[in-house]
Structure 1
């Protein structure tokens, strides 16, 4: 049976792979608007270190899902799925092509497949868990998780505070392990679009590593440390008992810069740790992408013509799709 839903393009891939520049080019060519699928770009004040589109890029193409929360707040994948769906609906009403761009696999999964039903975030419970972590350390809370949900503890490492916190929160709110919630099927209707899923990544891993290092150096040269100093000066972050546990400050680069400004290491120490953390993020992104059977892989530098042809074919297969340059 033919899928009559209008098309959308998803540009996935590891950090520093060139997704943003490609998205801008495709949006201008095919009459699109960009929906960011990035867990750092939802936070205000994370600009240089998050590679957020600047004012000129936003003037060229409409962007959505940016600057939704302050850096001392949290934002869940379920919230992203709801907000992202509304953004896509609005783009379709305008007769434009939704282009989903980013590297946050959980956000993509929430939007494309939906999430299993489970309790919503509870600020009081999260604050209680964060306070316990500050006093005992996250490995101790990971041990607590292992006692109530060994399946989740086996998947979540003791150095992954965000997922430990969420798993404990769900159990404390519901009495049901998060692993059991996750086995339940999603309860969401399908998206109103048919999504062409494209993975964008250099063919050689060494090339990506070089891009990661060059981008971090460019960020520092552009004033990244001043940006982190401005975050540290915000009254809400100065008053926070554990700012390094906030999702915004845990973003790669920001945590390492924050610790550098705390005096834990010099600039070279910060650079080494930030680049290493970004490489680890890219590795996790590759792992997630390889588990998605519908994804088509392209090296944007070497296979741009083939990538453009894939997009053109996906749009041509759907009558009523946005016209080229529309």
Structure 2
């Protein structure tokens, strides 16, 4: 088999994806491209469990800590950044290992995204102001009058309804019109792919342990520094797993024990949602129950021998 060019490694939080990617990158002299929606932000090293300096020394890493917390990274923006990194790897004959837990990012690479333009900040503000003025139900009615395809979303689904309002306001065409336009894949063939899916009890125990370790190793100071910036609370980074839980503790709304328990519970729930997404949206991907098994199976798929 020829030297591989592209490998996908996916799975829920705390499943061992990074360990697998680093081991293979070392064996193949490859480079790792982040496919996690929160690890892209520079301000949350501990909270998002970004690779350590020692791990990054083993192989070059791309799109980890690439954006400031004040920025918004949509799937469209991430895919454009990823394409640059992928093109660089391809131009130099380097194996690219795309690693992360955001399933939509993998789909964006293989299937492309609907060509919906990025929304200006002022349009986002107008949408939120309109929803605040009308109330959730009346706002939904207005959105549905502009785009009947949005009727499937309840009034409480603010994120999707705000997005639909923004797109109609900015472009004069419904979001569903943009979504129906042809999509262009970003990558061609993928040489190997795997989803790491540990047994539920093992995964949940790892989620709990990770949350506890984060709290002990600096997550509190990290969130404190983030809050000191007085950023827009609607920014993605402000909703990152761990930020609301620690912020509540820093505001003396809960004690440290409650904050940790809430973070552990929310981490388990997040992992469960990721598992559900991969099972529904990527049912044909090979599975592995651990990082070690994932590495072994990928080595078999790619006919890699030695260390």
Q: TM-score range by the shorter chain?
A: 0.7 to 0.9
Q: Partner of 2:46 in structure 1?
A: 48
Helix, strand or coil at the partner of 1:185: coil
TM-score of the superposed pair, with normalisation by structure 1: 0.83
User: Which of 264, 283, 304 matches 2:272?
Assistant: 283
- Structure 1 pair 164–259 and aligned structure 2 pair: CA distance change class (3 A): farther
TM-score of the superposed pair, with normalisation by structure 2: 0.88
Distance 2:77 2:235 in 1: 17
- Structure 1 pair 191–259 and aligned structure 2 pair: CA distance change class (3 A): same
- Structure 1 pair 70–256 and aligned structure 2 pair: CA distance change class (3 A): same
The 10-residue stretch of structure 1 (105-114 or 125-134) with the greater mean CA deviation from structure 2: 125-134
User: Which of 141, 162, 167 matches 1:165?
Assistant: 162
- Structure 1 pair 125–287 and aligned structure 2 pair: CA distance change class (3 A): same
Distance 1:137 1:266 in 2: 33
Q: 4+ runs of 1 displaced by more than 6 Å?
A: 134-140, 323-326
Question: Structure 1 residue 219 and structure 2 residue 214: aligned?
Answer: yes
The 10-residue stretch of structure 1 (254-263 or 204-213) with the greater mean CA deviation from structure 2: 254-263
Distance 1:232 1:139 in 2: 32
Q: Partner of 2:193 in structure 1?
A: 197
Q: Partner of 1:58 in structure 2?
A: 56
Distance 1:254 1:195 in 2: 36
Distance 2:132 2:165 in 1: 15
- Work out whether residues 38 and 48 of structure 2, in 8 Å CA contact, stay in contact via their aligned partners in 1: yes
Q: Partner of 2:288 in structure 1?
A: 298
Distance 2:28 2:4 in 1: 14
Q: Partner of 1:315 in structure 2?
A: 302
Distance 2:289 2:84 in 1: 31
Shift of 1:253: 1.0
Q: Partner of 1:11 in structure 2?
A: 9
- Work out whether residues 18 and 99 of structure 2, in 8 Å CA contact, stay in contact via their aligned partners in 1: yes
Q: Partner of 1:257 in structure 2?
A: 246
Distance 2:135 2:258 in 1: 23
What count of residue pairs does the alignment treat as equivalent? Answer: 306
Structure 2 residue runs of 5 or longer lacking an equivalent are: none
Helix, strand or coil at the partner of 1:67: coil
Distance 2:223 2:131 in 1: 24
Helix, strand or coil at the partner of 1:73: coil
Structure 2 counterparts to residues 173-212 of structure 1, below 5 A: 173-186=170-183, 188-202=184-198, 204-212=199-207
Shift of 1:155: 4.7
Question: Structure 1 residue 230 and structure 2 residue 225: aligned?
Answer: yes
Q: Partner of 1:266 in structure 2?
A: 255
Q: Partner of 1:319 in structure 2?
A: none
Q: Partner of 1:320 in structure 2?
A: none
Distance 2:191 2:134 in 1: 44
Helix, strand or coil at the partner of 1:248: helix
Structure 2 counterparts to residues 75-224 of structure 1, below 5 A: 75-132=73-130, 141=139, 144-149=142-147, 151-152=149-150, 154-155=152-153, 158=156, 161=159, 163-186=160-183, 188-202=184-198, 204-224=199-219
